[in-house]
Amino acid sequence: MLTYIEQKVENRSTLIESLLQQWRRQQEDEALAQACKLVDELGLGWDEEWQTLAITDWEASG
């Protein structure tokens, strides 16, 4: 696999760093989704301002 990557990519370290960043963002998104689900399940609710801010943050992180 490393041989294939070295043939296709100029900088293996940059590729690995990029993949790790994507994985981290995915983990953070999943954690946020779980937190939102828990808030809903507990009936804590979101007022419209908080909901708008959460959506804006989510879109900005995209």
Residue whose token pair is 């043939």: 7
Residue 58 has what pLDDT? Answer: 87
CA angle at 19 for the pair 54 and 1, rounded to the nearest 5°: 155
- Cβ burial of 36 (10 Å; 0-12, 13-18, 19+) is middle
- HSE of 56 in the Cβ direction (CA atoms, 13 Å)? 6
pLDDT given for residue 25 in this prediction: 95
Hey, is 43 helix, strand or coil?
coil
Residue 31: the pLDDT is 95
Over 80: is that where the pLDDT of 45 sits? Answer: no
Q: Is residue 4 scored above 80 in pLDDT?
A: yes
pLDDT tens digit sequence for 5-38: 888 888 888 988 999 999 999 999 999 999 988 8
Give pLDDT, residue 46. Answer: 65
